[in-house]
Chain A
Amino acid sequence: MSFEQFIFYVLAAIAIISGLMMITVKNPVKAALWLVLAFISTAGLWIMAQAEFLGLVLILVYVGAVMVLFLFVVMMLDINMSILKEGFTRYLPIGALAAVAIFALIYMVVGPDHFGLDKVAAPDMKPAGYSNTTEIAIPLYTEHAYAFILAAVLLLVGIVAAIALTLRRRPTGAVLYQDIDKQNKTLAKDRFEMVKMDAVVEKAVVENEEEDKK
Protein backbone atom coordinates (compact mmCIF):
# COMPACT_ATOMS: atom_id res chain seq x y z
CA MET A 1 0.00 0.00 0.00
CA SER A 2 1.49 3.30 -1.07
CA PHE A 3 1.43 6.36 1.13
CA GLU A 4 -1.23 7.98 -1.04
CA GLN A 5 -3.52 4.99 -0.67
CA PHE A 6 -3.01 5.09 3.08
CA ILE A 7 -4.03 8.76 3.21
CA PHE A 8 -7.01 8.01 0.99
CA TYR A 9 -8.31 5.26 3.25
CA VAL A 10 -7.82 7.34 6.38
CA LEU A 11 -9.75 10.27 4.90
CA ALA A 12 -12.45 7.99 3.53
CA ALA A 13 -12.86 6.29 6.90
CA ILE A 14 -13.15 9.66 8.64
CA ALA A 15 -15.76 10.78 6.09
CA ILE A 16 -17.87 7.65 6.58
CA ILE A 17 -17.64 7.68 10.37
CA SER A 18 -18.47 11.36 10.65
CA GLY A 19 -21.36 10.88 8.23
CA LEU A 20 -22.77 8.08 10.39
CA MET A 21 -22.26 10.10 13.56
CA MET A 22 -23.97 13.07 11.96
CA ILE A 23 -27.23 11.19 11.46
CA THR A 24 -27.19 9.27 14.73
CA VAL A 25 -26.03 11.84 17.26
CA LYS A 26 -28.84 13.41 19.32
CA ASN A 27 -27.72 17.01 19.70
CA PRO A 28 -28.20 19.04 16.48
CA VAL A 29 -25.17 21.25 17.21
CA LYS A 30 -22.96 18.18 17.49
CA ALA A 31 -24.53 16.79 14.31
CA ALA A 32 -23.59 19.99 12.47
CA LEU A 33 -20.02 19.73 13.76
CA TRP A 34 -19.78 16.12 12.57
CA LEU A 35 -21.00 17.27 9.18
CA VAL A 36 -18.20 19.87 9.15
CA LEU A 37 -15.72 17.05 9.72
CA ALA A 38 -17.30 15.06 6.88
CA PHE A 39 -16.90 18.06 4.57
CA ILE A 40 -13.28 18.58 5.54
CA SER A 41 -12.35 14.96 4.91
CA THR A 42 -14.22 15.02 1.57
CA ALA A 43 -12.29 18.16 0.66
CA GLY A 44 -9.13 16.22 1.45
CA LEU A 45 -10.26 13.45 -0.92
CA TRP A 46 -10.87 15.97 -3.67
CA ILE A 47 -7.46 17.52 -3.20
CA MET A 48 -5.96 14.03 -3.49
CA ALA A 49 -7.82 13.62 -6.79
CA GLN A 50 -5.95 16.75 -7.97
CA ALA A 51 -9.04 18.95 -7.70
CA GLU A 52 -7.43 21.47 -5.35
CA PHE A 53 -9.70 24.35 -6.29
CA LEU A 54 -12.89 22.39 -5.60
CA GLY A 55 -11.48 21.05 -2.34
CA LEU A 56 -10.62 24.52 -1.09
CA VAL A 57 -13.96 25.94 -2.22
CA LEU A 58 -15.73 23.15 -0.37
CA ILE A 59 -13.97 24.18 2.85
CA LEU A 60 -14.45 27.90 2.29
CA VAL A 61 -18.08 27.80 1.20
CA TYR A 62 -19.58 24.84 3.02
CA VAL A 63 -17.52 24.74 6.19
CA GLY A 64 -16.85 28.45 6.41
CA ALA A 65 -20.17 29.91 5.41
CA VAL A 66 -23.04 27.43 5.08
CA MET A 67 -22.39 25.38 8.19
CA VAL A 68 -21.71 28.41 10.37
CA LEU A 69 -25.00 29.93 9.28
CA PHE A 70 -26.65 26.59 9.92
CA LEU A 71 -25.20 26.48 13.42
CA PHE A 72 -26.61 29.94 14.10
CA VAL A 73 -30.06 28.75 13.02
CA VAL A 74 -29.83 25.60 15.13
CA MET A 75 -28.77 27.55 18.18
CA MET A 76 -31.54 30.12 17.78
CA LEU A 77 -34.34 27.60 17.38
CA ASP A 78 -35.67 25.70 20.33
CA ILE A 79 -36.03 22.28 18.76
CA ASN A 80 -37.55 19.53 20.80
CA MET A 81 -35.38 16.58 19.84
CA SER A 82 -37.55 13.94 21.52
CA ILE A 83 -40.36 14.65 19.04
CA LEU A 84 -37.97 14.53 16.09
CA LYS A 85 -36.57 11.21 17.26
CA GLU A 86 -40.01 9.64 17.67
CA GLY A 87 -40.42 6.52 15.59
CA PHE A 88 -36.70 6.23 14.97
CA THR A 89 -36.44 2.73 16.47
CA ARG A 90 -39.78 1.72 14.96
CA TYR A 91 -38.60 2.51 11.43
CA LEU A 92 -35.00 1.45 12.04
CA PRO A 93 -35.32 -2.18 10.81
CA ILE A 94 -37.06 -1.32 7.54
CA GLY A 95 -34.82 1.71 7.04
CA ALA A 96 -31.70 -0.36 7.62
CA LEU A 97 -32.96 -3.02 5.24
CA ALA A 98 -33.60 -0.45 2.50
CA ALA A 99 -30.23 1.17 3.12
CA VAL A 100 -28.37 -2.14 2.90
CA ALA A 101 -30.25 -3.14 -0.26
CA ILE A 102 -29.52 0.20 -1.95
CA PHE A 103 -25.90 0.06 -0.83
CA ALA A 104 -25.52 -3.42 -2.32
CA LEU A 105 -27.05 -2.28 -5.61
CA ILE A 106 -24.89 0.81 -5.80
CA TYR A 107 -21.80 -1.22 -4.97
CA MET A 108 -22.61 -3.69 -7.73
CA VAL A 109 -22.94 -0.85 -10.26
CA VAL A 110 -20.32 1.64 -9.12
CA GLY A 111 -17.89 -1.00 -7.85
CA PRO A 112 -14.81 -2.41 -9.63
CA ASP A 113 -16.91 -4.47 -12.06
CA HIS A 114 -17.94 -1.41 -14.02
CA PHE A 115 -15.53 1.35 -12.97
CA GLY A 116 -12.37 -0.72 -12.36
CA LEU A 117 -8.94 0.31 -13.65
CA ASP A 118 -9.35 -2.02 -16.65
CA LYS A 119 -12.52 -0.14 -17.66
CA VAL A 120 -11.57 3.42 -16.80
CA ALA A 121 -7.86 4.25 -16.88
CA ALA A 122 -6.32 6.06 -13.93
CA PRO A 123 -5.99 9.81 -14.59
CA ASP A 124 -2.53 11.16 -15.44
CA MET A 125 -0.55 12.93 -12.77
CA LYS A 126 -0.54 16.61 -13.60
CA PRO A 127 2.74 18.60 -13.60
CA ALA A 128 3.60 20.82 -10.63
CA GLY A 129 2.59 24.16 -12.18
CA TYR A 130 -0.81 22.91 -13.35
CA SER A 131 -3.59 25.35 -12.49
CA ASN A 132 -6.85 23.81 -11.52
CA THR A 133 -8.56 27.18 -11.31
CA THR A 134 -7.79 28.07 -14.93
CA GLU A 135 -9.00 24.70 -16.11
CA ILE A 136 -12.34 25.28 -14.41
CA ALA A 137 -12.62 28.96 -15.20
CA ILE A 138 -12.13 28.78 -18.97
CA PRO A 139 -14.98 26.38 -19.77
CA LEU A 140 -17.15 27.99 -17.11
CA TYR A 141 -17.03 31.39 -18.79
CA THR A 142 -16.98 30.18 -22.40
CA GLU A 143 -18.64 26.84 -23.14
CA HIS A 144 -20.91 26.89 -20.13
CA ALA A 145 -21.60 30.62 -20.01
CA TYR A 146 -25.29 29.94 -20.67
CA ALA A 147 -25.50 27.56 -17.72
CA PHE A 148 -23.49 30.03 -15.62
CA ILE A 149 -26.02 32.80 -16.28
CA LEU A 150 -28.87 30.40 -15.54
CA ALA A 151 -27.25 29.57 -12.21
CA ALA A 152 -27.25 33.29 -11.47
CA VAL A 153 -30.96 33.45 -12.33
CA LEU A 154 -31.56 30.51 -10.00
CA LEU A 155 -29.87 32.39 -7.17
CA LEU A 156 -31.89 35.50 -7.99
CA VAL A 157 -35.13 33.51 -7.79
CA GLY A 158 -33.90 32.12 -4.46
CA ILE A 159 -33.30 35.64 -3.14
CA VAL A 160 -36.70 36.88 -4.31
CA ALA A 161 -38.37 33.83 -2.76
CA ALA A 162 -36.54 34.24 0.56
CA ILE A 163 -37.37 37.94 0.80
CA ALA A 164 -40.99 37.45 -0.25
CA LEU A 165 -41.45 34.73 2.37
CA THR A 166 -39.76 36.44 5.30
CA LEU A 167 -40.40 40.15 4.85
CA ARG A 168 -43.32 41.19 7.01
CA ARG A 169 -44.60 44.66 6.35
CA ARG A 170 -46.42 45.62 9.50
CA PRO A 171 -48.87 48.54 9.45
CA THR A 172 -47.28 51.82 10.57
CA GLY A 173 -49.70 52.13 13.47
CA ALA A 174 -48.57 48.84 15.03
CA VAL A 175 -44.83 49.51 14.99
CA LEU A 176 -42.99 52.75 15.54
CA TYR A 177 -40.31 53.46 12.99
CA GLN A 178 -37.54 56.01 13.20
CA ASP A 179 -37.55 58.43 10.27
CA ILE A 180 -34.15 60.11 10.41
CA ASP A 181 -34.79 62.54 7.55
CA LYS A 182 -37.89 63.78 9.24
CA GLN A 183 -36.08 64.08 12.56
CA ASN A 184 -33.32 66.18 11.02
CA LYS A 185 -35.74 68.45 9.24
CA THR A 186 -37.76 69.35 12.33
CA LEU A 187 -37.54 72.91 13.53
CA ALA A 188 -37.76 74.13 17.06
CA LYS A 189 -41.15 75.71 16.47
CA ASP A 190 -42.64 72.36 15.43
CA ARG A 191 -41.55 70.72 18.60
CA PHE A 192 -41.91 73.42 21.21
CA GLU A 193 -44.87 75.71 21.45
CA MET A 194 -45.26 78.54 23.89
CA VAL A 195 -48.79 78.83 25.16
CA LYS A 196 -50.12 81.81 26.98
CA MET A 197 -52.70 81.00 29.57
CA ASP A 198 -54.21 82.46 32.66
CA ALA A 199 -52.96 81.44 36.03
CA VAL A 200 -55.29 78.93 37.61
CA VAL A 201 -55.89 78.77 41.31
CA GLU A 202 -55.86 75.21 42.56
CA LYS A 203 -58.98 74.04 44.26
CA ALA A 204 -58.79 72.83 47.77
CA VAL A 205 -58.79 69.06 48.00
CA VAL A 206 -59.41 68.68 51.70
CA GLU A 207 -63.13 68.26 51.25
CA ASN A 208 -62.68 65.29 48.94
CA GLU A 209 -60.27 63.56 51.22
CA GLU A 210 -62.82 63.68 54.00
CA GLU A 211 -65.42 62.18 51.75
CA ASP A 212 -63.06 59.36 50.89
CA LYS A 213 -62.62 58.56 54.53
CA LYS A 214 -66.30 57.90 54.89
Chain B
Amino acid sequence: MDTRVAELEVSLSNGIAIRTTQLVKRYGEREVLHGLDLTVEAGEFIAVVGRSGCGKSTFLRLLAGLEKHSSGSISLDGYAAPGIHPDVRIMFQDSRLLPWRTVIQNVALGLPGDSRQVALAALCEVGLADRADEWPANLSGGQRQRVALARALVHQPRLLLLDEPLGALDALTRIEMQCLIERLWQQHNFTVLLVTHDVAEAVTLGDRVVLIEDGSITLDLDINLPRRRERGTAEFAALEGQVLHKVLGAQLCPN
Protein backbone atom coordinates (compact mmCIF):
# COMPACT_ATOMS: atom_id res chain seq x y z
CA MET B 1 0.00 0.00 0.00
CA ASP B 2 2.77 2.37 1.02
CA THR B 3 4.71 1.72 -2.14
CA ARG B 4 1.64 2.43 -4.22
CA VAL B 5 1.22 5.79 -2.52
CA ALA B 6 4.87 6.55 -3.16
CA GLU B 7 4.50 5.60 -6.83
CA LEU B 8 1.45 7.79 -7.11
CA GLU B 9 3.37 10.71 -5.72
CA VAL B 10 6.18 10.18 -8.19
CA SER B 11 3.79 10.05 -11.12
CA LEU B 12 1.93 13.11 -9.90
CA SER B 13 5.02 15.17 -9.82
CA ASN B 14 7.80 14.23 -12.07
CA GLY B 15 9.63 17.49 -11.42
CA ILE B 16 12.71 18.42 -9.45
CA ALA B 17 12.40 20.35 -6.20
CA ILE B 18 14.85 23.23 -5.90
CA ARG B 19 16.25 24.90 -2.82
CA THR B 20 18.82 27.65 -2.87
CA THR B 21 20.19 29.10 0.32
CA GLN B 22 22.21 32.30 0.61
CA LEU B 23 23.23 31.97 -3.03
CA VAL B 24 25.94 34.46 -3.96
CA LYS B 25 27.56 35.02 -7.34
CA ARG B 26 30.48 37.36 -7.87
CA TYR B 27 32.25 38.31 -11.09
CA GLY B 28 35.55 39.63 -9.81
CA GLU B 29 34.71 42.49 -7.46
CA ARG B 30 31.13 42.81 -8.58
CA GLU B 31 28.53 40.85 -6.64
CA VAL B 32 25.58 40.00 -8.87
CA LEU B 33 23.49 37.90 -6.51
CA HIS B 34 23.48 38.71 -2.82
CA GLY B 35 22.26 35.72 -0.88
CA LEU B 36 19.27 34.41 -2.78
CA ASP B 37 16.91 32.10 -0.89
CA LEU B 38 14.31 30.31 -2.95
CA THR B 39 12.38 27.10 -2.46
CA VAL B 40 10.53 25.56 -5.37
CA GLU B 41 8.37 22.50 -5.01
CA ALA B 42 8.47 19.69 -7.54
CA GLY B 43 6.21 20.44 -10.47
CA GLU B 44 5.77 24.11 -9.67
CA PHE B 45 5.79 26.79 -12.35
CA ILE B 46 7.84 29.75 -11.16
CA ALA B 47 8.01 32.97 -13.10
CA VAL B 48 11.01 35.14 -12.32
CA VAL B 49 10.72 38.79 -13.28
CA GLY B 50 13.02 41.74 -12.92
CA ARG B 51 14.63 44.58 -14.82
CA SER B 52 17.45 43.78 -17.17
CA GLY B 53 20.71 43.35 -15.30
CA CYS B 54 19.03 42.39 -12.02
CA GLY B 55 20.71 38.98 -11.99
CA LYS B 56 17.76 36.82 -13.03
CA SER B 57 19.56 35.25 -15.98
CA THR B 58 22.65 34.64 -13.86
CA PHE B 59 20.43 32.85 -11.36
CA LEU B 60 19.12 30.60 -14.11
CA ARG B 61 22.62 29.86 -15.39
CA LEU B 62 23.67 28.85 -11.89
CA LEU B 63 20.70 26.48 -11.64
CA ALA B 64 21.59 25.02 -15.03
CA GLY B 65 25.13 24.37 -13.85
CA LEU B 66 26.59 26.57 -16.58
CA GLU B 67 28.37 28.67 -14.00
CA LYS B 68 29.63 28.08 -10.49
CA HIS B 69 28.20 30.02 -7.59
CA SER B 70 30.59 31.85 -5.30
CA SER B 71 29.00 30.84 -2.01
CA GLY B 72 25.77 29.48 -0.58
CA SER B 73 24.19 26.32 -1.92
CA ILE B 74 21.90 24.93 -4.59
CA SER B 75 20.18 21.64 -4.04
CA LEU B 76 18.11 19.76 -6.59
CA ASP B 77 15.85 17.11 -5.03
CA GLY B 78 17.91 17.45 -1.87
CA TYR B 79 21.28 16.84 -3.54
CA ALA B 80 23.94 19.43 -4.25
CA ALA B 81 23.81 20.22 -7.95
CA PRO B 82 26.70 18.51 -9.78
CA GLY B 83 27.25 21.02 -12.59
CA ILE B 84 25.26 20.22 -15.72
CA HIS B 85 22.45 17.91 -14.65
CA PRO B 86 21.07 15.40 -17.18
CA ASP B 87 17.48 16.01 -16.05
CA VAL B 88 17.74 19.78 -16.43
CA ARG B 89 17.27 21.48 -19.78
CA ILE B 90 17.55 25.15 -20.55
CA MET B 91 16.08 27.19 -23.38
CA PHE B 92 17.46 30.57 -24.36
CA GLN B 93 16.15 33.69 -26.02
CA ASP B 94 17.82 32.55 -29.24
CA SER B 95 16.94 29.04 -30.30
CA ARG B 96 20.57 27.89 -30.59
CA LEU B 97 19.71 25.38 -33.27
CA LEU B 98 22.64 24.04 -35.27
CA PRO B 99 22.20 25.63 -38.71
CA TRP B 100 23.97 22.70 -40.41
CA ARG B 101 21.60 20.09 -39.06
CA THR B 102 18.00 19.61 -40.16
CA VAL B 103 15.17 20.31 -37.74
CA ILE B 104 14.84 16.68 -36.73
CA GLN B 105 18.59 16.18 -36.38
CA ASN B 106 18.60 19.16 -34.05
CA VAL B 107 15.85 17.67 -31.94
CA ALA B 108 17.66 14.34 -31.80
CA LEU B 109 20.94 15.97 -30.74
CA GLY B 110 22.55 14.03 -27.93
CA LEU B 111 20.08 11.13 -28.08
CA PRO B 112 21.69 7.73 -28.34
CA GLY B 113 21.13 5.41 -31.29
CA ASP B 114 18.41 5.73 -33.92
CA SER B 115 16.21 8.35 -32.39
CA ARG B 116 14.18 9.59 -35.34
CA GLN B 117 10.87 8.30 -33.99
CA VAL B 118 11.39 9.85 -30.56
CA ALA B 119 12.42 13.14 -32.11
CA LEU B 120 9.46 13.08 -34.46
CA ALA B 121 7.10 12.54 -31.53
CA ALA B 122 8.56 15.58 -29.79
CA LEU B 123 8.16 17.63 -32.97
CA CYS B 124 4.56 16.48 -33.12
CA GLU B 125 4.00 17.85 -29.65
CA VAL B 126 5.05 21.32 -30.75
CA GLY B 127 3.15 20.95 -34.03
CA LEU B 128 6.12 20.96 -36.40
CA ALA B 129 6.33 17.34 -37.52
CA ASP B 130 5.83 18.40 -41.13
CA ARG B 131 8.96 20.58 -41.06
CA ALA B 132 11.22 17.78 -39.78
CA ASP B 133 13.59 17.67 -42.75
CA GLU B 134 14.05 21.38 -43.34
CA TRP B 135 17.00 23.58 -42.42
CA PRO B 136 16.47 25.82 -39.37
CA ALA B 137 17.19 28.83 -41.58
CA ASN B 138 13.87 28.20 -43.36
CA LEU B 139 11.82 28.55 -40.18
CA SER B 140 10.40 31.66 -38.56
CA GLY B 141 11.62 32.82 -35.14
CA GLY B 142 8.61 31.32 -33.37
CA GLN B 143 8.99 28.00 -35.16
CA ARG B 144 12.66 27.87 -34.24
CA GLN B 145 11.77 28.36 -30.59
CA ARG B 146 9.26 25.56 -30.86
CA VAL B 147 11.96 23.29 -32.28
CA ALA B 148 14.21 24.29 -29.38
CA LEU B 149 11.37 23.41 -27.03
CA ALA B 150 10.96 20.01 -28.69
CA ARG B 151 14.70 19.45 -28.38
CA ALA B 152 14.46 20.10 -24.63
CA LEU B 153 11.35 17.92 -24.23
CA VAL B 154 12.81 14.93 -26.02
CA HIS B 155 15.13 14.36 -23.07
CA GLN B 156 12.14 14.24 -20.70
CA PRO B 157 13.56 16.89 -18.43
CA ARG B 158 12.39 17.14 -14.86
CA LEU B 159 13.36 20.78 -14.62
CA LEU B 160 12.93 23.14 -17.54
CA LEU B 161 14.72 26.46 -17.31
CA LEU B 162 13.46 29.10 -19.71
CA ASP B 163 15.63 32.17 -20.16
CA GLU B 164 13.30 34.69 -21.84
CA PRO B 165 12.53 32.20 -24.60
CA LEU B 166 9.72 34.36 -25.96
CA GLY B 167 11.51 37.67 -25.66
CA ALA B 168 12.26 38.03 -29.35
CA LEU B 169 8.85 36.94 -30.66
CA ASP B 170 5.95 39.07 -31.80
CA ALA B 171 2.95 39.49 -29.49
CA LEU B 172 0.65 36.96 -31.18
CA THR B 173 3.29 34.25 -31.47
CA ARG B 174 4.13 34.83 -27.82
CA ILE B 175 0.59 34.10 -26.70
CA GLU B 176 0.56 30.91 -28.78
CA MET B 177 3.87 29.85 -27.26
CA GLN B 178 2.64 30.60 -23.74
CA CYS B 179 -0.34 28.29 -24.28
CA LEU B 180 1.97 25.63 -25.68
CA ILE B 181 4.36 25.83 -22.73
CA GLU B 182 1.49 25.72 -20.26
CA ARG B 183 -0.07 22.70 -21.97
CA LEU B 184 3.22 20.79 -22.09
CA TRP B 185 3.93 21.63 -18.46
CA GLN B 186 0.51 20.30 -17.41
CA GLN B 187 1.06 17.18 -19.50
CA HIS B 188 4.57 16.34 -18.38
CA ASN B 189 4.54 17.63 -14.81
CA PHE B 190 8.07 18.95 -14.75
CA THR B 191 9.22 21.94 -12.74
CA VAL B 192 9.53 25.15 -14.74
CA LEU B 193 11.51 28.28 -13.98
CA LEU B 194 10.68 30.97 -16.48
CA VAL B 195 12.73 34.14 -16.54
CA THR B 196 10.90 36.96 -18.27
CA HIS B 197 10.73 40.73 -18.32
CA ASP B 198 7.05 40.61 -19.27
CA VAL B 199 4.95 40.87 -16.10
CA ALA B 200 1.74 39.85 -17.86
CA GLU B 201 3.46 36.70 -19.11
CA ALA B 202 4.66 35.94 -15.58
CA VAL B 203 1.15 36.33 -14.16
CA THR B 204 -0.34 34.25 -16.99
CA LEU B 205 1.95 31.28 -16.45
CA GLY B 206 3.39 31.30 -12.95
CA ASP B 207 2.12 29.49 -9.86
CA ARG B 208 4.30 32.04 -8.18
CA VAL B 209 5.85 35.24 -9.45
CA VAL B 210 9.25 35.96 -7.97
CA LEU B 211 10.74 39.42 -8.36
CA ILE B 212 14.51 39.80 -8.31
CA GLU B 213 15.78 43.31 -7.77
CA ASP B 214 19.45 44.10 -7.67
CA GLY B 215 20.44 40.53 -6.88
CA SER B 216 17.87 39.78 -4.17
CA ILE B 217 14.33 38.49 -4.09
CA THR B 218 12.03 41.35 -3.11
CA LEU B 219 8.65 39.83 -3.88
CA ASP B 220 7.33 36.27 -3.93
CA LEU B 221 3.70 36.32 -4.91
CA ASP B 222 1.31 33.34 -5.16
CA ILE B 223 -0.95 33.55 -8.18
CA ASN B 224 -4.14 31.71 -7.27
CA LEU B 225 -6.09 32.29 -10.45
CA PRO B 226 -7.63 29.26 -12.15
CA ARG B 227 -5.75 28.15 -15.23
CA ARG B 228 -6.17 29.16 -18.75
CA ARG B 229 -5.98 32.57 -17.23
CA GLU B 230 -7.79 35.38 -18.95
CA ARG B 231 -5.80 38.56 -19.22
CA GLY B 232 -8.84 40.82 -19.13
CA THR B 233 -10.16 39.97 -15.66
CA ALA B 234 -9.99 42.32 -12.71
CA GLU B 235 -8.03 39.86 -10.52
CA PHE B 236 -5.45 39.39 -13.24
CA ALA B 237 -5.07 43.13 -13.68
CA ALA B 238 -4.77 43.62 -9.92
CA LEU B 239 -1.97 41.06 -9.61
CA GLU B 240 -0.18 42.41 -12.65
CA GLY B 241 -0.48 45.93 -11.24
CA GLN B 242 0.90 44.80 -7.90
CA VAL B 243 4.02 43.33 -9.48
CA LEU B 244 4.49 46.22 -11.88
CA HIS B 245 4.14 48.73 -9.10
CA LYS B 246 6.80 46.92 -7.11
CA VAL B 247 9.15 46.69 -10.12
CA LEU B 248 8.82 50.31 -11.06
CA GLY B 249 8.60 51.52 -7.47
CA ALA B 250 8.99 55.26 -7.00
CA GLN B 251 9.82 55.75 -10.67
CA LEU B 252 6.30 54.82 -11.70
CA CYS B 253 5.63 58.24 -13.13
CA PRO B 254 8.72 60.39 -13.52
CA ASN B 255 6.65 63.40 -14.54
Are A and B a genuine interacting pair, yes or no?
Answer: no
- Give chain B's interface residues, CB within 8 Å of chain A: none
